Amino acid sequence: MATQQYRQFLSENRVVSPSADRDAEMVRRVGQRLANAVTRYYKQQGLTEMLNGYKWEFNLVNDKQANAWAMPGGKVVVYTGLLPITQNEAALANVLGHEISHAIFQHGNERMSQGLAQQLGGTALSVALANRPAQTQNLFMQAYGIGSQVGVLLPFSRKQELESDRYGMRWSAMAGYNPREAINLWKRMAAQENSGRPPEFLSTHPAEDRRIQQLEQYLPEALKYYKPSGR
């Protein structure tokens, strides 16, 4: 289902070509560095099989929303509206690391299962697709934070968010990007929220003082993996 929905999304939205646009090239390049870091880490831990089936893709979509999301199997999308907030490669790396963590820890899958239970009475996915395809597709889009008005019915849990924050900082550090930028990024997110124009990203990724404090607690751990590469 993820493959089908991902291809449909790309066909219906304006994907920016990395061969013709520096921002799109940056998204793909930074994303691939992170994916390589994650793959190395899992290999070192003897857990390579946990990434079986992942074929990482990183695309930039021309959309004014400040949003990013990841689907099962490593399909990650960043919206152009997020780049004025990330402002630099290291902050973008922390966003991508966060979304990669959602994918490899299967947080969206958990939300999808919860949604099937809450909204469709625990119906099996195959039955839901056959009998209520439109509702099931909408549920899927909500579960993975795709499009606008996301996270209203199925917000990521606090546990899922903090887990993705923690490991997102780690993946960024392992890829050579400064994990401190995660803190700076969320301070900018909080400023956007306080301005009365919160990014769509915040509907599933709430920016708040407690979260920034938690990121500061994760920082020493992430810095153990950080080897600057000029970024």
How far is the C-alpha of 109 from the C-alpha of 114, rounded, in Å? Answer: 9
104 neighbors 54 (Cβ within 8 angstroms): yes
Positions of the chain with pLDDT lower than 70, given as ranges: 1-2, 107-157, 193-208, 229-231
Contact partners, residue 139, CB within 8 Å, separation at least 6: 112, 115, 116, 119, 120, 128, 154
How far is the C-alpha of 43 from the C-alpha of 36, rounded, in Å? Answer: 10
Q: What's the confidence (pLDDT) of residue 63?
A: 93
The residues annotated with a catalytic role in the active site are 99
Would you tell me how many other CB atoms lie within 10 Å of the CB of residue 52? 6
Residue 107 DSSP code: H
